[in-house]
Structure 1
């Protein structure tokens, strides 16, 4: 969650080195496979690739930034003796990969020690990230932005100072069967449309999963996101986000936070041992203040939180939660948005009564006005 830039990977420009187009080298080709070994550069294989080709990368360690400007290619690491090839930024290189195109798959790599981001694809279509492990890759690990058709699966991310898996300003997204731990935020869907986040294990982050609509981005909407069948637990890591960034304000102990997103469905998940709250549905004012002038709708609407499992959430809310006039609970709502609904049993909640889909409009409006008044007085 950084200010919108033409290409966010270059925000750490002091670390960017000059890249020269590599000389063409003779790599082994087997049909539509280009074989890259540790004595070569992966970039050489990308330069050689044609539509339909797979750049097959042998086990070993590679220190480079990949520049991808082709479509219909696969960059695949070959697993040997239970080890994937490694892209190592050596804490000097900015990004592991930057590029744009259509029908691109990156599969089977360990990405570590980059200073800006892991794998960034921008303004691309039909992109797949599979079997990727990101460790200490800067602000983001897996990072598609302004893309249509995104699949992230069977990946793991750790040590990321913003979001381990971040999908922003994109459409038609699936994030499934991943593990996110030890980050500021595990998974973030920001200003995006039509996202499914399912069957992920998210733990030991400051915040587990975020669904945000933020101002001052190319996309002005966040709608139709489904969070289902995830295990979101023990997200109590100290928030080590960059001071002044939006993500630095995510409370330690956050399970799931929906901020200004519309039509977000949350179901079938397990929220356990998150010290501030299990699920929060809030507007932008809690982060930006009531005097902020927005270019987006700051209110969450039509969110539907139901049939989840909650255990031991909200037992020690972070200071920022308490200072906002709230407290720890399984469910937290800042009383913004008439049309949000909850259907959960045996849970703690703030406020104590949350509207369900079977409520009449009069009951809903009365409940809203009462809690809104109390929140304004005591919050």
Structure 2
């Protein structure tokens, strides 16, 4: 970039205080590509959602505990901050108590979420917003050093996107801690998912513009103590996630779960299932395929399963289920865990009633499907957080 171009870049500083809503939204509207909107330390009391639709803008606070965008007085039901432009960096601030999603980006390529906190300060409630950070329909997504608490659907959610990295983040006291849905090529690593209903979910759902999720790596995470009762609104897909689920893979292809620490998840450390709801999408595949579970560290699991029939199964197996649970559907499922048994229900299809299950301890061929290649994001995204 030339010296003249650098000179034309601006930093727009906005501080808390009277008329913060109008001043902050004006700064987001008036920013030019390459500008930084700097949020001063303190608490911004906001009454409406904010939006950004200018490319190549950085929104930067003084720290995720120092700069707080509070939406406790929000009058509408929308998200706290909506981004619909490319090459945006969001960093070093917090969003609290939005009526809808905390921060949503849609169709925003090369989006960076860095060192953010999104929280519903009243604790887990059905009336909390659905998603904490919510990038959707995007290419190249980085979520790094983000903390989310209290989302009534998923704390960190990436949907219908590709080339995704979620790392070094903490999700706690959400329904789903981290969720990758209908997406291609994702690395989820170095995160902590604890005290959620379910820790990390990899889903594929029907009737969406992008389906056939594949090539997901979930590795080197700590997924423990997921013990929060499910508080999702009725009808949401995550309302069916059993309390005490560590990692759940549903209707996805080429998913590798390895090197994680999994413990104190009352239903299962790892749950592998097909999509069981009725659907009419002829292009949708409800089965898991080419799923590999290997080299994880398993602690206590399956001691109080909350899914239908789980308590009876646990009783029949001496009081607890094995750490890995598979409904029996799908193909090329590999569990290569040392001395870790896997319970399979032996269901021929996801639509088979549970009362026709034939539970048994499964044995697997040690052969493994090829691991997806690591996700490589554009260098500009990594440079933005240095």
Q: With structure 1 as the length reference, what TM-score do the two structures score? A: 0.82
C-alpha separation between the residues in 1 aligned to 2:54 and 2:281?
40
Q: Is the 8 A contact 1:301 1:337 kept in 2?
A: yes
Q: Is the 8 A contact 2:90 2:114 kept in 1?
A: yes
Q: Is the 8 A contact 2:71 2:99 kept in 1?
A: no
Partner of residue 266, structure 2: 275
2:75 to 76, 89, 92: 92
2:325 to 326, 329, 332: 332
Partner of residue 15, structure 1: none
Partner of residue 266, structure 1: 257
3-state DSSP class of the match of 1:220? coil
1:65 to 49, 63, 71: 49
3-state DSSP class of the match of 1:339? strand
Cα-to-partner distance string for 1:11-32 (whole Å, 9 max, x where unaligned): xxxxxxxxxxxxxxxxxx9952
C-alpha separation between the residues in 1 aligned to 2:239 and 2:200?
14
3-state DSSP class of the match of 1:52? coil
Instruction: Evaluate the alpha carbon distance shift between residue 184 and residue 325 of structure 1 in structure 2; reply closer, same or farther with a 3 A threshold.
Output: same
Partner of residue 217, structure 2: 226
3-state DSSP class of the match of 1:150? strand
Deviation at 1:46, TM superposition (A): 1.1
1:160 aligns with 2:170: no
Q: Is the 8 A contact 2:267 2:307 kept in 1?
A: no
Partner of residue 237, structure 2: 246
Q: Is the 8 A contact 1:212 1:258 kept in 2?
A: yes
Q: Is the 8 A contact 2:228 2:244 kept in 1?
A: yes
Deviation at 1:145, TM superposition (A): 0.8
C-alpha separation between the residues in 2 aligned to 1:264 and 1:251?
21
Partner of residue 297, structure 1: 285
C-alpha separation between the residues in 2 aligned to 1:296 and 1:250?
21
Cα-to-partner distance string for 1:118-149 (whole Å, 9 max, x where unaligned): 11110110001111111125011100110111
C-alpha separation between the residues in 1 aligned to 2:312 and 2:251?
17
Partner of residue 52, structure 1: 34
Instruction: Evaluate the alpha carbon distance shift between residue 297 and residue 324 of structure 1 in structure 2; reply closer, same or farther with a 3 A threshold.
Output: farther
3-state DSSP class of the match of 2:206? coil
Q: Is the 8 A contact 2:68 2:96 kept in 1?
A: no
Cα-to-partner distance string for 1:18-65 (whole Å, 9 max, x where unaligned): xxxxxxxxxxx9952111111443212112211111100101222142
C-alpha separation between the residues in 2 aligned to 1:247 and 1:45?
37
C-alpha separation between the residues in 1 aligned to 2:299 and 2:313?
23
Cα-to-partner distance string for 1:308-342 (whole Å, 9 max, x where unaligned): 00010111111435289787321011111221111
C-alpha separation between the residues in 1 aligned to 2:149 and 2:292?
30
Cα-to-partner distance string for 1:203-261 (whole Å, 9 max, x where unaligned): 00000010000111111111000000000001011000101211110000100000011
Partner of residue 35, structure 1: 13
Partner of residue 362, structure 2: 353
Partner of residue 344, structure 1: 337
3-state DSSP class of the match of 1:103? coil
Q: How large is the RMSD of aligned CA atoms in angstroms? A: 2.2
Deviation at 1:159, TM superposition (A): 0.8
Structure 2 gap segments, 5+ residues each: 1-6, 121-127, 315-319, 345-360, 369-386
C-alpha separation between the residues in 1 aligned to 2:312 and 2:181?
23
Q: Is the 8 A contact 2:39 2:67 kept in 1?
A: no
1:108 aligns with 2:89: no
Structure 1 gap segments, 5+ residues each: 1-28, 360-379
1:193 to 180, 184, 193: 184
